[in-house]
Structure 1
Amino acid sequence: MDIRQLHYFVEVARQKSFTKAAQALHVSQPSISKMLKALEEELGVILLDRTERKMELTDAGELVYDHATKVLQLMDSMSSSIAEMRNVQRGRVKMGMMPTVGSFLLPNAIALFKKQYPGIEIEMKEYSAKPLEYQVEQGKIDVGLTVLPVDTSKFTAVPLVSEDLVAIVYQEHWLASKDEVRLDALKEEAFILFTEEYAIHDVVKQACMRSGFEPRVAYMSSLWDFVGEMVATQQGISLVPRSIVRRLNNSNLHTVNISSPVIDWQYALIYRKEGYLSHAVRAFIAFIDKQLSP
């Protein structure tokens, strides 16, 4: 069954005339007659009663007309929806982000995005770095907000703003009187690290190893606030992104810059190299890149 058959049939039924239907559709009357005859033969019923001067639908014609109008409405709706998607008037973005990082970077950018694209829904979930990469790789989310480096054989990364890692110590610590310190001067310290599923765990360990020592781990946690409290109660020191220190807002903590080496904490959006990106997702990535590019 050809969709044009339904289109022609519905127009003839509305106009109650082959001539008027042909004029409305800008096709020849023989073309319409041929198309409707083929439709009747395919269905095995008579759709139009042509015996009277005034054309009428048969019982079968009424049934087909009801269904045909619904089909054509659905087709029109589908075409309109696809056009809206292509023009980025509607769509959905499924996004994953690392805890705290998203709340630090995204609220203002997303508010601006929603003003420009009010018809696009944004669905956000929190994951630590490694589960987030898995979710993106499996196609369960469209895009992830994480930190570099990532596996570039699997992901395309869009670098965003960066910051440095700083040391946080308690107020009575020997570093509390200093503004900066070399990383290798911390080799005797007890470190409070984030758990292994967090990107910062590997970043800190690798930075320490490059400075000639393996950090002595006193505790590990998955909670930013808890790490801050553990440092404040003299359980050790920690290295955290500078923005996190402001969020901890603990008067018992002192921040010390790492003078050498500077440890970059580079934020990025990632998505699958081989995955399909909808028009909405592409618009979102381009917008966030523009708002938060280095």
Structure 2
Amino acid sequence: MDIRQLQYFVEVAKQRNFTKAANALHVSQPSISKMMKALEEELGVVLLDRSERKMELTEAGELVYGYATKVLQLMEGMSSSIAEIRNVERGRVKMGMMPTVGSFLLPNVIALFKKQYPGIDIEMKEYSAKLLEVQVEQGSVDLGLTVLPTDAEKFAAVPLVSEDVVAIAHQKHWLAGMDEVNLAQLKDEDFILFTEEYAIHDVVRQACMKSGFEPKVAYMSSLWDFVGEMVATQLGISLLPRSIVRRLNNSQLHTVNIASPVIDWQYALIYRKDSYLSHATRAFIDFVKQHLSP
């Protein structure tokens, strides 16, 4: 049994006439007759009572007609739904993102995206950078909003905007009198860093190592505002992306540019190289690229 048999049978049942059904379906009458005979033989029942002047459905024909119309309705619904997905009229994007990064980059972009694609739902969850890569690799999320670099063997990356990493210190610290500093000049300072699961921890540590010293870590925290408060109480200095520093809004803090080495903090969307990307996910990637490309 195939879908054409059901389509032909339903039309014959509606028209109660082979010729009218053939005209409606734009096929020959012998084709209709042959298809109906094959369907009856396959089911082992008579579906159409041809003995009277006007063709009627048998009891089995009534039963098959009910099921056939439901099947065709489901097929039509499926085709319509697939067309909506193909034309990006609906869908779902599951995205993981680093804390603070999403709130810095995405609200305006998502608002614009939803205006253009109201039928696409976006689910967002926060993860630390290292856990985020695990979630993308395992397929728990379609996309990850993170910072480069990532594992190039596992993930495809779409580079987005970047910003610099700056130093913050208390207004009474010697750095308060400077606009910029070489990282090597901070080798004797106490550092307040994010904990190891956050990308900024490794970025700062590697930059310090590149400048010839291992940072002396006084405290570590997973909360960016708490890091700022500890710097404000003169417990040490910290290196943070500029967008986070802007959010601290603490008059006791002074921001200093890092002249050498310049520490880039580049955002990117990542996805597993071997993963299937839905039409909705691809549309979201293209939209974000348009608005947040470097």
- Relative to the length of structure 1, the TM-score reads 0.98
Q: Quick one: distance in 2 between partners of 1:60 and 1:247?
A: 73
Alignment-mate amino acid for residue 24 of structure 1? A
* Residue number in structure 2 paired with 1:20: 20
Amino acid in structure 2 at the alignment position of 1:278? S
User: Would you say 1:122 and 2:122 are equivalent positions?
Assistant: yes
SS at match of 2:207: helix
Q: Distance in 2 between matches of 1:279 and 1:57?
A: 44
What do the CA deviations read for 1:34-68 (whole angstroms, capped 9, x no partner)?
11111111111111111111111111111111111
What is the alpha-carbon distance in structure 1 between the residues aligned to residue 234 and residue 16 of structure 2?
89
Q: Which runs of 4+ in 1 moved over 6 A?
A: none
Give the match's secondary structure for 1:45: coil
| Residue pairs, 1:197-236, within 5 angstroms | 197-236=197-236
Separation in structure 2 between the aligned mates of residue 10 and residue 248 of structure 1, nearest angstrom: 69
Instruction: Supply the distance in 2 between the matched residues of 1:125 and 1:174 (Cα, whole angstroms).
Output: 40
Give 1:2 shift.
0.7
Amino acid at match of 2:29: Q
Q: Which runs of no fewer than 5 residues in structure 2 stay unpaired? A: none
Report the alpha carbon displacement of residue 238 of structure 1 after superposing the two structures with TM: 0.6
Partner of 1:259: 259
Q: Is 1:96 matched up with 2:115?
A: no
CA–CA distance in structure 2, aligned partners of residues 241 and 172 of structure 1? 22
State the shift of 1:174 in Å.
1.2
Shift of residue 267 of structure 1?
0.4
What amino acid maps onto 2:77 in structure 1?
S
What are the equivalent positions in structure 2 for 1:146-157 lying under 5 Å apart?
Answer: 146-157=146-157
The residue identity in structure 2 corresponding to 1:176 is A
SS at match of 1:188: coil
CA RMSD of aligned residues (A): 0.9
Query: Hey, what does 1:72 align to over in structure 2?
Result: 72
- 1:153-187 Cα shifts (integer Å, max 9, x gaps): 11111110000000011121111121111100111
Q: Deviations over 1:74-115 (max 9, x none)?
A: 111111111111111111111111111100001111111111
Which digits, 9 at most, give the CA deviation of each residue in 1:233-290, with x for residues without a partner?
1111110000111111111211111111110000001111111111111111011011
Secondary structure of 1:217 counterpart: strand
The gaps in structure 1 that reach 5 residues or longer are none
Q: Does 1:275 align with 2:275?
A: yes
TM-score scaled by length of structure 2:
0.98
SS of the aligned residue for 1:191 comes to: strand
Aligned partner of residue 75 in structure 1, secondary structure: helix
Aligned residues: 294
Deviation per residue, 1:120-139 (Å, 9 max, x gap)? 11111111101111111111
Distance 1:233 1:62 in 2: 83
2: CA distance, partners of 1:85 / 1:63 = 33
Which stretch of structure 1 is more off in the superposition, 83-92 or 152-161? 83-92
Alignment of 1:160-171 (within 5 A): 160-171=160-171
SS of equivalent residue, structure 2 residue 160 = strand
2:243 matches 1:243: yes
Question: In structure 2, the residue corresponding to 1:52 is in which secondary structure?
Answer: coil
CA distance in structure 1 between the aligned counterparts of 2:221 and 2:14, rounded to whole angstroms: 71
Q: SS of the residue aligned with 1:236?
A: coil
1:61 aligns with 2:61: yes
SS where residue 220 of structure 1 aligns?
A: strand
Which residue of structure 2 aligns with residue 188 of structure 1? 188
Aligned to 2:174: 174
- Distance in 1 of aligned mates of 2:97 and 2:231: 26
What corresponds to 2:144 in structure 1? Answer: 144
Report the more deviating stretch, 96-105 or 51-60.
51-60
Partner of residue 159, structure 1: 159
